[in-house]
A = this chain, B = another copy of it.
């Protein structure tokens, strides 16, 4: 059994051994990274491929792009997602557009790693879940795994991809354990993982909310309601076919995510199913449109919990 963060470490390690063009840059990465996800890399690959940088997010992001343009394959480590806000021009105006804008002359092969989500009462500036923004942004792949095996396999795919991949590390699940194969094979983008089958309703979720969804499903199961659970894993490309097919079959779709409900990626999924599979009963469960508070009872009041998912499922089933 391997923790999720260790699975990610092993995946990056494997790829850096495989391909000398792969390197990592970000704050404190030479000391193993904030979460130990690069532990031992400096010793193995040296300071030119494991670059501890100044607190200069704009250049961490932009230098990664420039280095990709000359044929290296950087892993751009952003430490905590919220700091990406200091590098948005480089990500949104440059990385996401450069291939298109230049008519295909450039192919920025890079991964941006952004540990995101709620984690140990970190409050408003260290807990954001804005993954939906990037599904809306042309030019990037958006990955948001929830298990050690998926995280490792998708990170391998991300590093080997010729497209810019935004990789949302689920930081609250870093300690979760699971099996990871000796040799980590790439997992293709855009395919759901079917967590469990069921006929009562379909629940789609991803990233750090998956354990809560599974707990909610257990409660529903104890009442005789079988939920089909799909872990989306990728927000772009996303597995529309699998979601629509499951929703059609069960007749009910609940999308649950850690992010704010208004304008979250759940809206896209619901809208898509509403357009393509009329008649399916639809519901969402996300955070209210409120910044993340610090105090535990306040955070608890805001965040999506198994109980809230069960309540949303109950309302959906009652319709």
Contacts and interface: CB of A to CB of B under 8 A. Distances in A.
A245 B16 CA distance: 57
A92 interface: yes
Given A268-B263, A268-B267, A291-B96, A124 B101 contact: yes
Contact of A270 (B85, B93, B264, B270): B270
Contacts of A130: 133, 136-137
A284 to B, nearest CB: 6
A290 interface: yes
A279 to B, nearest CB: 9
A263 B92 contact: no
B290 A283 contact: no
Given A275-B270, A275-B283, A135 B290 contact: no
Interface residues of A, number: 51
A288 B125 CA distance: 32
Interface in A277-316: 278, 281-284, 288-291, 293
Interface string A133-146: 10111110000000
B268 A262 contact: yes
Given A270-B271, A271-B266, A282-B271, A138 B97 contact: no
A89 B85 contact: yes
Given A85-B88, A263-B135, A291-B96, A275 B284 contact: yes
Interface string A111-142: 00000000000011100101011011111000
A319 interface: yes
A35 interface: no
A221 interface: no
A122 to B, nearest CB: 12
Given A125-B93, A278-B281, A282-B271, A136 B264 contact: yes
A207 to B, nearest CB: 16
A123 B136 contact: no
Interface of A: 82-83, 85-86, 88-89, 91-93, 96-97, 100-101, 123-125, 128, 130, 132-133, 135-139, 236, 259-260, 262-268, 270-272, 274-275, 278, 281-284, 288-291, 293, 319
